[in-house]
Structures are given as structure tokens and as C-alpha cells.
Amino acid sequence: MREGPDIARIASLIGDPARANMLNALMGGTALTASELALEAGVSLPTASSHLSKLMEGGLLTLASQGRHRYYGLASAQVASMIEAIIGVAEAVGPRRARPGPRDAAMRVARVCYDHLAGEQAVAMLDRLFDRKLLLREDNEIRLSSSGAAHFSALGIETHAKARRPVCRACLDWSVRRSHLAGMLGAAILDKIIAEKWARREKDSRAVVFSPRGRQEFERVFLS
């Protein structure tokens, strides 16, 4: 009977199917309203509302009110990466999903992880950015080199640190089991990919699907 941090509290919050579905949906990175989350979780609005207040109280969510809309989002990247870790275990021990299915394959290639790109594409990108010395591994962190700063700035990606959010961060990829790029820069790159219409978000999924031309452009800019 040891004390220690209350992991049961956190885990039981995630342990309800409705709440797990909501969190899963929020892993897409976009904040959602209570009604959207109710739909996502397959429960009525009152039920969803009750779940949301529990998640809020548990510190897993943040809330942004805009007019009569209330947008719920994951509280932090740390929460997101905890959820990724749980997904990893669930994938590993889970009842071997009958057929991997096309959506699942798409997820492995490229998907949204909270606010940045994950999957094979993202892991390959980080590797290339290191090779080209646009990013530097330092200690156990990732740092932007001066050539990297110039490079991203030329692409119209702002890399000045604001607030306390780190510019670069490594995030473990559950499908590849290697790191991909998170942090402000990771988020900015995903923004660019979507803004340039190189890829679109699959509806109701975290999968990111590149268009043929978009993939070419992405490879030219980030994988060359």
C-alpha cells in the first residue's frame, strides 16, 4: 500500500470507453465542441458533458470558450504522448485486429499526432533534417541550427520561440518505434503541409493523406 502519484485516477479517466473515444478524437489536435465529442463517443449530450467535466477536473483537457461554443482540447503535449504510449501497448497486446485495413495502413504512413505529423513519413523527415544538419541532436534534445533557421524561414515557417513551448521536441512514434519531430516547428510544418494542400486530413481519423503532387512537393522540400 504505497502512496505515490495517483495513476489510477488518471488511468480510470481514460478507462471509460466514451472518454477514451473522446481523447482519441482529440489526438487529432483540433479542439472540438461537446456535441462533436458526444457524436464521436456515441453517447448523448448530457452524458458527454458529464464525461468532459470529469476530464477537465482530472486536468487532461483545456477549455476555450468562444461565444456560445466551448472548445475542448488536450491539456498538453505530455498528455498526448501518454495517450500515444497507451495506444502503443493496446496495439501490441490487443486482440490482433483482424485485418490491418486500408485506413490503418494510411495511419502508419502519415497521421496527425496532437498537432504535428507522425508516421513513417514523419520519421523519415526527421532523419533527413538531421542528415542535412538543419537540426542538431544535442544532449537529448533537438536544436535548430543556424542553417536550419534560415531554411525554414525561407519556407515561410517561423521558428522564433514564443511562450514556453520548445521549438523542437522528439516524440516517440508508436507505429515505427522511432522518434519524429514535435514542438513548435513540428506543428508549423504540419500547418504548412495542410495549408499548401499537399495533404488532407482523412475525415473522422487521424490519417493524413498526401495527394500525388503533394507528396512530390513534400519529398522535394523535406526529404531531398
Site residues (vs DNA, CB under 7 A):
12, 16-18, 33-36, 43-54, 67-70
Cβ distance to DNA smaller for residue 52 or 171: 52
Helix (H), strand (E), coil (C) string for 132-168: CCCEEEECCEEEECHHHHHHHHHCCCCCCCCCCCCCC
Helix, strand, coil shares of the chain as percentages rounded to 5?
50, 20, 30
* Residue 222 three-state SS: helix
Q: How far is the CB of 81 from its own copies (least distance, A)?
A: 6
Q: How far is the CB of 34 from DNA (least distance, A)?
A: 4
Q: In 3D, which of 207, 223, 210, 219 has the Cα closest to residue 112?
A: 207
Count of positions (residues) in the chain: 224
Q: How far is the CB of 10 from its own copies (least distance, A)?
A: 5
* CA 106 to chain CA centroid, nearest Å: 15
* Residue whose entry in the numeric block shows the C-alpha cell 495527394: 211
Q: Is the dihedral of CA 146, 148, 150, 153 positive or negative?
A: negative
**Residues whose CB falls within 8 Å of the CB of residue 100, separated by 6 or more in sequence, listed in order:** none
Q: Tell me the C-alpha distance between 59 and 187, whole Å.
A: 23
Question: Binds 95, which of its own copies, DNA, none (CB < 5 to 8 A, cut-off by type)?
Answer: its own copies
Per the structure block, which three cell numbers stand in for 179? 522518434
Cβ distance to its own copies smaller for residue 2 or 160: 2
In the set 19, 108, 116, 151, which binds its own copies (CB under 8 A)? 19
Give the contact letters, 155-194, x = binds to its own copies (CB under 8 A), - = no.
Answer: ---------------x-x-----xx---------------
In the set 33, 49, 76, 145, which binds its own copies (CB under 8 A)? 76
In the set 91, 156, 158, 216, which binds its own copies (CB under 8 A)? 91
Q: How far is the CB of 103 from its own copies (least distance, A)?
A: 9
83 belongs to the binding site for its own copies (CB under 8 A): yes
**What φ, ψ does residue 43 adopt, rounded to 5°?**
-130, 170
Q: How far is the CB of 39 from its own copies (least distance, A)?
A: 7
Q: How far is the CB of 85 from DNA (least distance, A)?
A: 21
Residues making contact with its own copies (CB under 8 A): 1-2, 4-17, 19-21, 23-25, 39-42, 58-60, 75-76, 78-79, 81-83, 85-95, 97, 126-127, 130, 137, 139-141, 170, 172, 178-179, 204-205
